[in-house]
Amino acid sequence: MADYNKPLPMPTPETQEFWDGLKREELRIQQCQDCNQHYFYPRSFCPHCHSTNVEWTTVSGKGTVETFVINHRAMGGWAEEVPYVVAVVSLEEGPRMLTNIINIEPDPEHVQVDMPVEIVYDAVTDEITLAKFQPVTG
């Protein structure tokens, strides 16, 4: 963990609950109490109806790959890990997250649109756990 050398996210007051949840291995996103839609990234109002009546909720961590790119070029700390997959995952609850897909067998080239995926909690430092996704097995 100590030698993690990629850029790290900086929690803000609006995103702190999201990062705290990941540390506990929970995916916490917000849900509007007026229109019932879930949304991500964290913010103080609903992007669907602009209500400020929103609450944090724990969601399943399951979803599907919506789009992806396979990056073959080493950049900074990623040098040891090419190729790697950057993807937009649609969560079961609706919101989309920009993330990485890992543990793709036999190799990253086998990532597919609509592939079912589930969250993996990657504790990269004492402070930050990243949400990544892997293919659902079994």
List of residues contacting Zn ion (CB under 5 A)? 32, 34-35, 46, 48-49, 51
Separation between Cα atoms, residue 37 and residue 40, nearest integer Å: 10
Residue 20, phi then psi, degrees to nearest 5: -60, -40
Between 32 and 85, name the residue whose CB sits nearer to Zn ion.
32
**Residue 49 Cβ vs Zn ion, minimum distance, rounded to whole Å:** 3
- Supply the minimum distance, in Å, between the C-beta of residue 50 and Zn ion: 7
Between residues 27 and 46, which has the closer beta carbon with respect to Zn ion? Answer: 46
Q: Which two tokens stand for residue 8?
A: 């790290």
Q: List Cα–Cα distances, 21 to 29, 33, 48, 106, 131, in angstroms.
A: 9, 20, 24, 31, 10
Q: What token pair was written down for 57?
A: 């909720």
Shortest CB 95 distance to Zn ion, Å: 12
Least CB distance from residue 52 to Zn ion, whole Å? 9
Nearer to Zn ion, 34 or 81 (CB): 34
